[in-house]
Structure 1
Amino acid sequence: MQPDRERLHQEFERLRENSARRTKERGFELAARWNRDETAIEYLYRQGQLICDERDLDTVLEAFDQLRIDRPEVTEGPVGLAVLHVPDADAAEIAAKLADILGDERIVAPNHVLDAQVHMSMCPATEPVPSYGPIPVLGEPVGPGRPKVAVVDTGYLPVVAKDSGFGRFSAVKKYEIDDDVYVPGTDEIRPYGGHGTATTARLLAVSGADAVEVEVRDCLIGGAVDELAIVEDLEKVIKGGADIVSVQAGLYARQGNTPKSFDLLYRRVVSKHPDTVIVAPAGNHGTDVPFWPAAYSWVTAVGALTTGGDYRAPWSNFGYWVDAYTPGESTVVPYPNGRYGYIDETSARFSNGHSVWSGTSFAAPVVAGLIARRMIEREVSAPVARHIVLQEAAIGALPHTGPRLIV
């Protein structure tokens, strides 16, 4: 087995185990659609579930009848989706058979999984390495704006604020924690533990803390989340009045398709809240293949530059759908103290509340923070502030990279 292929299989197994061990009722069986020689994953999905628009439900159930497959149990999902439970079959294979009957593979779809390690690279692009700070920050912005920001991520841990000395966590007024950062009863840090804390700090380092109000929703338990769960959280924060939403996750969908839950999220929620701006990472796989939700026109997609900001990081995704690039390599961020085990079976001990970490997931919150900063300084709406920030990116563009923001 080639080293890259072997690492990919190791990463998938780790993510599969993490997904299965989730707390409460949120654990699930993770599956992958592999390419022919199993050197790449086309997309990840949740076994046992299919999704469709509730308006298409009767048509889909009739297709089950034509296939002579027992009709599934159906439950209500977010944003007008119906969830079809197929526990004894491969969800992707059933979706393909239904598409043949329906003549359109967009009607019913697997429940895709957004994760923190699609394909060869993790998101973050590297695993954390101990660091001794400090965390670089911009000064507090001055102005009358008071934006509300939501961060959707994994592994948020408030106690990290104390260990890292990063005072700007005071801006986090509300948070939900659904994941265990540590293995219970130990100081062993789980994979992706503390990721949400780090990305929130990246945002606050730019936006400041005095004039923003931040909510953190910790839904990517174990490093992954199915599209139904994340869309449900996005619906809540958008309807709750968030001006800016920073989402540190993404997925690859079936070839030629977009993820159905996000399609309906836009139709039922986002389109009705035009003053909300959504920011997402472009992904860490060095490809121009669209990565969702970043690749939607209604999402601000952020790629990563090298530390100095002179080049696109080689692992950062790119393409016409990426709106801006900002440094995301070797960022210094708050991190839990304890022992972390790497995928190569080595380990490191963290004792200073900091790490160095890389990925487009550390670039996206910088752009979200800049949008919040412009809202504060100029007392404008989030869409206007986004336009200002992207104009600044265009001015700083590099011919070999694209729109660039250096902060």
Structure 2
Amino acid sequence: MQHDRERLHLEFERLRENSARRSKDRGFELAARWNRDETEIEYLYRQGQLICDERDLDVVLAAFEELRLDRPEVLEGPVGLVILHVSETDAAEVADKLAESLGDERIVAPNHVLDAQSHAVMCPATEPLAAYGPIPELGEPIGPGDARVAVIDTGFLPDLAKESGFERFSAVRTYEVDDDVYAPGTDRIQPYGGHGTAATARLLAVSGSRSVSVEVRDCLIGGAVDELAIVADLERVVRAGVDVVSVQAGLYARPGNTPKAFDMFYRRVLSRHPQTVVVAAAGNHGTDVPFWPAAYSWTTAVGSLTRGGDARTSWSNFGYWVDAYVSGESALVPFPNGTYTYVDKTSAAFTNGHAVWSGTSFATPVVAGLIARRMVERDVDARVARHIVLQEAAIGALPETGPRLIL
């Protein structure tokens, strides 16, 4: 138990440091709400910011005045939200005070932070281990359909894609570059460097590339992203008309609540684009506590099986809200060359451009890719293709686990 507690604190500190030093002026101060004995993190949040619906702004500002709190700076956010800057004080504590004053803790919320679900910080899944390809893949699907897919992750590494020899990366039509791979001026690979390229490879290994086009977004820099940033990317790709969105990140919200930005994203955007399917990682914490956005009814939540698919991995989240399980253990993926330092301070040299990496991050794009594949084969829209995939998962269900896909 003491070892687990120490590891958790080490992993939180690593994620906190990554969040602060993000490139492109997008760094932020990461904070955590811990349980009483600091053995668990209830939720992560961005320090200095709160969010509320723009329609509630007047009543929220009145509550600030009533509580004699400094009036926050107000900025426009995505999907009908406003951002309240509350520097010089703890954002979660201010949210609690406002909830008590307003009589409703759903009106104002912290800006929760999501972390990547690979060797995800605060979870027991493995970190990358050096390996060599070729990357296992299904044959190209045969059919008259096509699919547009968006991967919401750390961005894409075109040099790694070329060096990997994985020809299906040709389907990546647009991308943002993963530019936080190495510590500046060194060959030291930063945590989550290359994560988006690895997830994209997993997707294309299943979907094929001839009838699929992929866009890779880079909001998940350094392994973490606040919910406003990821929702802004989701809004962008959904409004652009993508069919399938693969999200390799997630969060725990304040107990008893759902994350406000995702609530608003569904109401303001996704509900008006019913043909778009969102696939999301169920998380790597070995719990049935709802993990967002995967736990929403409007997403397809993906948990992880062992490499052979005969059991759920011990670290995969589970529960009624997980829609399908597929292997996310020891996935062979492209990976940058250089020196990688593990959370226990040991290090390893990567020289072959590949790694094995575990987590629901590497199960999620498999399901997204399978939905795209069925769109091509059956010439159907994403909703119908999702229904077909979940029927297949139900047929292969694993007792005491749930719907299972074996590829």
Question: Normalised by the size of structure 2, how large is the TM-score?
Answer: 0.98
What corresponds to 1:217 in structure 2? Answer: 217
Q: How does 1:322-361 map to 2 (within 5 A)?
A: 322-361=322-361
Poorly superposed stretches of 4+, deviation over 6 Å:
none
What corresponds to 1:121 in structure 2? Answer: 123
Alpha carbons of structure 1 residues 86 and 287: separation in structure 2 relative to 1, 3 Å = same
What corresponds to 1:265 in structure 2? Answer: 265
AA aligned to 2:213 is: E
What corresponds to 2:49 in structure 1? Answer: 49
Tell me whether 1:296 sits opposite 2:296 in the alignment: yes
AA aligned to 2:391 is: Q
Deviation track 1:148-167 (CA, whole Å, cap 9, x = no partner) reads: 00000115312111222111
Deviation track 1:275-305 (CA, whole Å, cap 9, x = no partner) reads: 0000001000000000000000000000000
Alpha carbons of structure 1 residues 30 and 188: separation in structure 2 relative to 1, 3 Å = same
Q: How does 1:98-247 map to 2 (within 5 A)?
A: 98-116=98-116, 120-121=122-123, 125-154=125-154, 156-177=156-177, 179-247=179-247
What corresponds to 2:94 in structure 1? Answer: 94
Q: How does 1:298-317 map to 2 (within 5 A)?
A: 298-317=298-317
Larger mean Cα displacement after TM superposition, 274-283 or 185-194: 185-194
Task: List alignment gaps of at least 5 residues for structure 1.
Answer: none
Deviation track 1:323-362 (CA, whole Å, cap 9, x = no partner) reads: 0000011111111111111111111111111100000010
What corresponds to 1:379 in structure 2? Answer: 379
Larger mean Cα displacement after TM superposition, 82-91 or 175-184: 175-184
CA displacement at 1:179 relative to structure 2 = 3.5
Number of residues of Structure 1 aligned to a counterpart in Structure 2: 405
Across the aligned residues of Structure 1 and Structure 2, the Cα RMSD in angstroms comes to 1.1
- Measured in 1, the distance between the counterparts of 2:126 and 2:256 equals 29
Alpha carbons of structure 1 residues 178 and 64: separation in structure 2 relative to 1, 3 Å = farther
Tell me whether 1:78 sits opposite 2:78 in the alignment: yes
**Contact persistence 2:49–2:87 (CA under 8 A):** yes
AA aligned to 1:257 is: N
Tell me whether 1:248 sits opposite 2:248 in the alignment: yes
**Contact persistence 2:284–2:360 (CA under 8 A):** yes
- Measured in 1, the distance between the counterparts of 2:330 and 2:24 equals 34
Counterpart secondary structure, 1:397 = coil
Larger mean Cα displacement after TM superposition, 351-360 or 148-157: 148-157
Deviation track 1:26-54 (CA, whole Å, cap 9, x = no partner) reads: 11000000000000100000000000000
Tell me whether 1:31 sits opposite 2:40 in the alignment: no
**Contact persistence 2:178–2:194 (CA under 8 A):** no
AA aligned to 2:123 is: S
- Measured in 1, the distance between the counterparts of 2:82 and 2:31 equals 21
Deviation track 1:246-302 (CA, whole Å, cap 9, x = no partner) reads: 000000000000000000000000000000000001000000000000000000000
- Measured in 1, the distance between the counterparts of 2:343 and 2:321 equals 32
Counterpart secondary structure, 2:79 = helix
**Contact persistence 1:48–1:90 (CA under 8 A):** yes
- Measured in 2, the distance between the counterparts of 1:190 and 1:358 equals 17
CA displacement at 1:398 relative to structure 2 = 1.1
- Measured in 1, the distance between the counterparts of 2:178 and 2:375 equals 31
- Measured in 2, the distance between the counterparts of 1:159 and 1:121 equals 30
- Measured in 2, the distance between the counterparts of 1:44 and 1:70 equals 24
Counterpart secondary structure, 1:221 = coil
What corresponds to 2:401 in structure 1? Answer: 401
Larger mean Cα displacement after TM superposition, 300-309 or 109-118: 109-118
- Measured in 2, the distance between the counterparts of 1:15 and 1:22 equals 11
What corresponds to 1:11 in structure 2? Answer: 11
**Contact persistence 2:338–2:350 (CA under 8 A):** yes
CA displacement at 1:137 relative to structure 2 = 0.1
CA displacement at 1:116 relative to structure 2 = 2.4
AA aligned to 2:286 is: G
AA aligned to 2:95 is: A
Counterpart secondary structure, 1:177 = coil
**Contact persistence 2:303–2:360 (CA under 8 A):** yes
- Measured in 1, the distance between the counterparts of 2:93 and 2:161 equals 46
Counterpart secondary structure, 2:150 = strand
What corresponds to 2:275 in structure 1? Answer: 275
**Contact persistence 1:156–1:193 (CA under 8 A):** no
